[in-house]
Structure 1
Amino acid sequence: MSGPPVREGPTGTGRGAITPDGCAVELYARLSAGSEPEVIGPVLRPGASVLELGCGAGRVTHPLVELGFAVTGVDESAQMLERVRGARTVRSPIETLDLGEERFDAVVPGSFLVRTGDHRLREGLLGTCRRYVKADGLVLIQREGPGCHSGLPREREDHAAGCTIRILSAEPVGDGVDEVRAEYVFEDARWTQTFRSRELTVERFEAYPEEAGLAVDRCPTPDGVRVLARPGQIRGNSDRGLAGR
């Protein structure tokens, strides 16, 4: 298999291997899963099959495996996948993933990939979600709302990992896309990452899954960061309950 495609915009610095999308392998092996397993786990049936798209070094994969889910992790980077334990792994770009007739109880695209600045990548991501989710399954999409690129610089602590995460700047590069610079500081190491991201209104966010044949359902937590979507037709704003968030 040839190497992963080089993405426009992403870069990264720091020790160890850096993937073509600017992610440092050792960094993502260190970062904690945060609250994601506690959000994802309760909406799935016990032992559910999960397709995790952009699993990286297993930050979320490993807790999901520990919760008893059958996880298939997909990533472009062989070096990332070498860090994954307890799950089946598939090396592939998300948008061209080929798993034949397999379908999953849940599809979980990693991080905030839906906000990519590249329309083709976003359409490919959501198309893959729709293609591999079962008819009665669900897709858990992660999002950030308006204002996520304002008030910079700002920082937060990943206490479990012992890391300070700083979003340093977000500079417009055209078509509603910002080039975002981030820094990750540990006592013994520092990494940076630059990537392109698009701020999304609620209405624009909801439109993207719908265009891929996924009906936005609800937010499982009050912060609205994770959104559930299901295959099928849209039932109307009153049923989805997101428009006012």
Structure 2
Amino acid sequence: MEVTADGSPVDVYLLLPPDGEAEIVHAAVPPSASILELGSGADRVTHPLIELGHEVVAVDESAAMLSHVRAETVCSRIADLQLGRTFDAVLLASHLVNTERAADREAMLAAARRHLAPGGRLIVEWHPPEWFTTAASGQGGRLGEVEIELADVVRDGDLLSATVRYSARGRRWHQEFTCRRLDLETLLTSADLTFDGWLTADRTWFAARAGRVG
């Protein structure tokens, strides 16, 4: 079983179908917008975005994930990315912004910001603060043919650690993670970004732009 540096089982991500992510992004950016997808994984969001008419550059540090992407790809840590070009939109999905270490988050947001074209929009999926209160072992559901369950939830101040258990086709996988509760205003101000609206009713997706108001 191939597993990425952050513990993501590649086989699971190949089985997981899109879950409306591309449509959220598409509604938030201009038609035919160029999109830099950070932490793209295998193809769940990349290919639907292309089908919606966007030019997408997919970035991931896992060559195994990128080998399944039919688009321009860049194998790199997000923090190290220096493409020398900018995009109409930069996508930071999969709750990556809730990373445990502040230094990692700051580097990630700096990379996103330096690749935003003037007037460009950063599209972010995160765990909002209320999720840290409601998340509990035993929660889960089904995405396509994959059964998903949250287990071993442990809280320590603003940190939440847990294990995601996956099962499909008679196989089982698990992925451990730790994430941090964030204050949105502090998050954006520290990265010289300005909040630019919620993109979903549950406030798990939002947009931001470079620079502060005023």
Q: TM > 0.5 between the two?
A: yes
Is 1:17–1:25's contact at 8 Å kept on the other side of the alignment? yes
1:44 aligns with 2:29: yes
Shift >4 Å, 4+ stretches: none
Name the SS for the 1:184 alignment partner.
strand
Within 5 Å, which residues of 2 pair with 1:6-21?
Answer: 16-21=1-6
Name the SS for the 2:8 alignment partner.
coil
1:114 Cα deviation after fit: 0.7
Equivalent in the alignment of 1:127: 110
Is 1:216–1:234's contact at 8 Å kept on the other side of the alignment? no
Is 1:97–1:128's contact at 8 Å kept on the other side of the alignment? yes
Name the SS for the 1:56 alignment partner.
coil
1:206 Cα deviation after fit: 2.7
Gap regions ≥5 residues in structure 1: 1-15, 236-245
Within 5 Å, which residues of 2 pair with 1:23-38?
Answer: 23-38=8-23
**CA RMSD in angstroms, aligned pairs only:** 1.4
CA distance in 1, matches of 2:6, 2:204: 23
Equivalent in the alignment of 2:99: 116
CA distance in 1, matches of 2:164, 2:33: 34
1:37-88 alpha-carbon deviations (Å, 9 max, x no partner): 1111112212111000000101111100111100000000111100111x10
CA distance in 1, matches of 2:110, 2:190: 9
TM-score scaled by length of structure 2: 0.94
Match of 2:200 among 204, 208, 221: 221
Structure 1 counterpart of 2:51, one-letter code: E
CA distance in 2, matches of 1:29, 1:229: 30
Match of 2:120 among 137, 141, 164: 137
1:91 aligns with 2:75: yes
Gap regions ≥5 residues in structure 2: none
1:183 Cα deviation after fit: 0.5
Is 1:50–1:70's contact at 8 Å kept on the other side of the alignment? yes
**Equivalent residues, number:** 212
1:92 Cα deviation after fit: 0.4
Is 2:93–2:123's contact at 8 Å kept on the other side of the alignment? no
CA distance in 1, matches of 2:52, 2:170: 31
CA distance in 1, matches of 2:105, 2:151: 24
Equivalent in the alignment of 1:106: 89
Counting aligned pairs with the same residue, the percent is 36
TM-score scaled by length of structure 1: 0.82
CA distance in 2, matches of 1:155, 1:181: 12
1:91 Cα deviation after fit: 0.4
1:175 Cα deviation after fit: 5.8
Is 1:168–1:180's contact at 8 Å kept on the other side of the alignment? yes
CA distance in 2, matches of 1:208, 1:147: 16
1:76-128 alpha-carbon deviations (Å, 9 max, x no partner): 0111100111x10000000010112x000000012101101011110011111
1:207 aligns with 2:186: yes
Name the SS for the 2:164 alignment partner.
strand
